[in-house]
């Protein structure tokens, strides 16, 4: 959960996001080529994605399923009838010179998702962000700019400081859904939180891995500013291909300040596409923004319209998991967890599943949350592992917590044995012969022995240095191999020292 911020009080930012999300299908949207990431250039290609003459596209049914499930999870209305359209794109990395997308009849519309922030006083804020539409489309290829500037002659035209460009068509035909938000966002922080929540949702659904570093999730940001109280929007500027949440926030915050400064200086804002320069921490102009008329949309003649039956829609709806926002509310209201714990536990679906399995096995929710978000998380971060890669099962974690709460072992003993438990040793074996000594008749002679063996420390304690009680308790724990019940030991020690 992040803290809300605002821009200058006399101006208001209007922000919307267009998010391209790669679907986790094994094959492309209209052909059987692999979608595997990291293949050698131009190896995952075929006549369809290369746009060769005489070939026809065929819609991958899994793409439709994933798109509908994403639309349902975003509370959208699923179209009973939709179609594909051709979007004219004359780019070197788009072999057909057009992109198959959806224009006026997308698969899903009119949805929303909820983001969570906190105000300056630490109070939670929940805000609903509208979803205008979700539609299916194919991705383009990738240009790789190469060659050093020093190799170029004076007469050569250079792009991005390179002397030539190569084209990799592996991405051509990769299935995407584009998710367009309503202009409901008001800061870079809100936009970053929206993008993060969107990624959580598609990961929970299993329809996308959401890996921004691999291009599986890319955001275009639309920003304008206007004086507070004015109904009309300002001139919209787009920032292309944001590939990290922090970059989204910083680029938006920079662009808001740039536009406000321009307005106050009497300059005009032009509708354009800009790029975020990470090194310089600024946006720069890329091109004047196209309108929909520039793309010359028309219905795709090689693909039949799409009709989703009620039976198919309800089947896919029944397969949806509990989503992150629902889990957060459930953890807070029913399990009594803090908003922070609920947020951390629901960040990744495998972590939430691990937590819920431990609860089902009898673990106290708060204790399980503490172990998972603190000790286990520290181990995962240090070893660069996911929670699915550790040998400590949720059931064994529940047994450890039960042993602590029933007084069979101490919390300190459990933490000491955690490396063994994480490697797969069972609690029964790890704590064999380690049960706490809880019988006062057994502990009392040991306490007397420790006091008698340390007369100097006893005198200092009775002369006012009461902090030495920790020393005496520590000696008892040492003599018992940490098996003395800490609470009982403290009680007995205090009674004896003050006698």
Cα→Cα distances 34→42, 175, 300, 435, Å: 11, 11, 24, 56
Residue 153 pLDDT > 60: no
pTM of the model: 0.84
**Longest Cα pair distance anywhere in the chain, in angstroms?**
99
Between 17-21, 27-31, 66-70, 481-485, the lowest mean confidence (pLDDT) is in: 481-485
Q: For residue range 446-459, list pLDDT tens digits in order.
A: 888 888 888 888 88
Q: What is the pLDDT of residues 247-306, one digit of tens each?
A: 999 999 999 999 999 999 999 899 999 999 988 999 998 887 666 667 889 999 999 999
Task: Report, as an integer, the average pLDDT of 357-384.
Answer: 96
Q: Provide the pLDDT for residue 156.
A: 46
Q: Report how far residue 256's alpha carbon sits from residue 189's, in angstroms, rounded to the nearest whole number.
A: 12
Phi and psi at residue 302, to the nearest 5°: -95, 0
**Separation CA 276–CA 241 (nearest Å):** 8
Q: Where are the domains of the chain?
A: 2-312, 322-430, 440-497
Residue 50 parent element (H or E): none
pLDDT at 7: 52
Q: Is the dihedral of CA 375, 381, 383, 387 positive or negative?
A: positive
29: nearest Cα among 61, 55, 68:
61
Mean pLDDT, range 180-200, rounded to an integer: 96
Is the four-CA dihedral 333, 337, 338, 342 of positive or negative sign? negative
Could you say which architecture CATH assigns to the domain 440-497? Orthogonal Bundle (1.10)
The pLDDT > 90 percentage for the chain reads 67
Pairing mode, if any, of strands 81-82 and 164-168? unpaired
Closest among 176, 180, 13 to 112, alpha carbons compared: 180
């Amino acid at each position: 959960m992040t803290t809300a911020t605002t821009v200058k009080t006399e101006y208001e930012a209007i922000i919307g996001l267009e998010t391209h999300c790669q679907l986790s299908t094994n094959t492309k949207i209209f052909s059987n080529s692999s979608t595997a990431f990291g293949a050698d250039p131009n190896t995952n290609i075929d006549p369809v994605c290369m746009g060769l003459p005489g070939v026809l596209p065929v819609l991958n049914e899994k793409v439709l399923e994933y798109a509908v499930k994403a639309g349902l999870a975003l509370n959208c209305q699923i179209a009973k009838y939709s179609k594909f359209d051709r979007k004219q794109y004359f780019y070197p990395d788009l072999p057909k010179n057009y992109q198959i997308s959806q224009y006026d009849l997308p698969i899903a519309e009119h949805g929303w998702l909820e983001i969570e922030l906190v105000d300056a006083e630490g109070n939670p804020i929940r805000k609903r962000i509208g979803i205008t539409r979700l539609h299916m489309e194919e991705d383009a290829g990738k240009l790789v700019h190469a060659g050093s500037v020093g190799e170029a002659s004076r007469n050569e035209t250079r792009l991005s400081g390179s002397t030539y460009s190569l084209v990799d068509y592996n991405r051509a035909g990769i299935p995407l859904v584009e998710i367009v938000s309503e202009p409901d966002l008001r800061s870079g922080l809100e936009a970053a939180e929206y993008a993060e929540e969107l990624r959580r949702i598609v990961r929970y659904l299993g329809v996308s891995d959401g890996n921004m570093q691999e291009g599986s999730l890319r955001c275009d940001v639309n920003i304008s500013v206007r004086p507070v109280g004015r109904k009309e929007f300002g001139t919209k500027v787009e920032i292309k291909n944001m590939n990290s949440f922090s970059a989204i926030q910083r680029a938006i915050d920079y662009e808001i300040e740039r536009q406000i400064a321009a307005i106050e200086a009497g300059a005009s804002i032009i509708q354009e596409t800009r790029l975020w320069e990470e090194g310089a921490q600024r946006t720069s102009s890329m091109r004047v923004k196209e309108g929909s008329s520039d793309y010359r949309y028309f219905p795709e003649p090689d693909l039949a319209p799409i009709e989703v039956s009620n039976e198919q829609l309800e089947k896919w709806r029944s397969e949806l998991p509990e989503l992150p926002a629902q889990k957060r509310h459930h953890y807070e209201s029913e399990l009594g967890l803090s908003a922070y714990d609920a947020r951390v536990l629901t960040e990744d679906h495998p972590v939430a599943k691990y937590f819920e399995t431990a609860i089902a096995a009898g673990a106290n929710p708060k204790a399980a949350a503490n172990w998972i978000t603190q000790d286990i998380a520290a181990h995962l971060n240090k070893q660069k592992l996911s929670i699915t890669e550790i040998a400590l099962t949720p059931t064994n974690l529940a047994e450890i917590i039960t042993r602590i709460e029933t007084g069979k072992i101490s919390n300190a003993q459990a933490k000491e044995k955690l490396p063994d438990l994480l490697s797969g040793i069972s609690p029964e074996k790890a704590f064999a012969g380690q049960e706490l000594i809880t019988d006062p008749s057994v502990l009392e002679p040991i306490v007397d022995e420790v006091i008698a063996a340390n007369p100097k420390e006893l005198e200092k304690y009775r002369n006012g240095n009461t902090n030495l009680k920790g020393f005496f308790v520590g000696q008892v724990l040492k003599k018992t191999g940490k098996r003395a019940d800490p609470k009982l030991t403290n009680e007995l020690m205090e009674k004896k020292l003050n006698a």
